[in-house]
Amino acid sequence: MAKLTILEFPDPRLRTRAKPVERVDADLRRLIDDMFETMYAAPGIGLAASQVDVHLRFMVIDVSETKDQQLDFINPEIVAHEGVQTCQEGCLSIPGIYADVKRHERIAVRALDRDGNPFEIQADGLLAVCIQHEMDHLDGKVFVDYLSPLKREQVRKKLDKQRRAAAA
């Protein structure tokens, strides 16, 4: 297993629209394992392939307290949704920044698992938020895109400041 480098906003590579996975094989499973390791180490609750500069449609999630409920989604699709919820979100690609984002409250998602088998799950609460957040990454979107241009500019400045402080 290996820890991967996470791209950070405003890296233009985060804007890439990921392509569907065509083959679920051992290479993909290795990458999924590496992404879990990277996500747990960060630490985070979700990571999309786009964030580690792999532009294919898959992502890993574990929202459990005990960090032992790994969910992986390959070629995920939201097939139904209802309600609205607002939750404070953060992102491993935008460290130290948190903001409220409006999402579907409940969703049904269809995807392939790491063995290439199709499955469907219903999700609400934090898991539903996390799935929608990671799926945005696969479309080249990040959560600060939902903020006003002024707020987004403040985020950019704050990140610059953090990076300068870290480099000093």
Instruction: Give the active site residues.
Output: 134
Q: How far apart are CA 18 and CA 151, in angstroms?
A: 27
Give Cα 125 to chain centroid, integer Å.
16
Q: In the bound complex, what is the minimum distance in angstroms from residue 80's beta carbon to Ni ion?
A: 23
Asked if residues 109 and 79 have their Cβ atoms less than 8 Å apart, the reply is yes
Q: In the bound complex, what is the minimum distance in angstroms from residue 55's beta carbon to Ni ion?
A: 15
Q: Which is nearer to Ni ion, 24 or 36 (CB)?
A: 36
Q: Does 49 bind Ni ion (CB under 5 A)?
A: no
Q: Does 91 bind Ni ion (CB under 5 A)?
A: yes
**Which residue is associated with the tokens 């219903």?**
122
Give Cα 160 to chain centroid, integer Å.
22
Applying CB under 5 A, the site for Ni ion has a residue count of 1
Q: Which is nearer to Ni ion, 24 or 39 (CB)?
A: 39
The structure tokens listed for 145 are 């895109």
Closest chain position to Ni ion (CB): 91
Q: Which is nearer to Ni ion, 98 or 119 (CB)?
A: 98
Q: How far apart are CA 108 and CA 123, in angstroms?
A: 6
Residue ranges that bind Ni ion, judged by CB under 5 A: 91
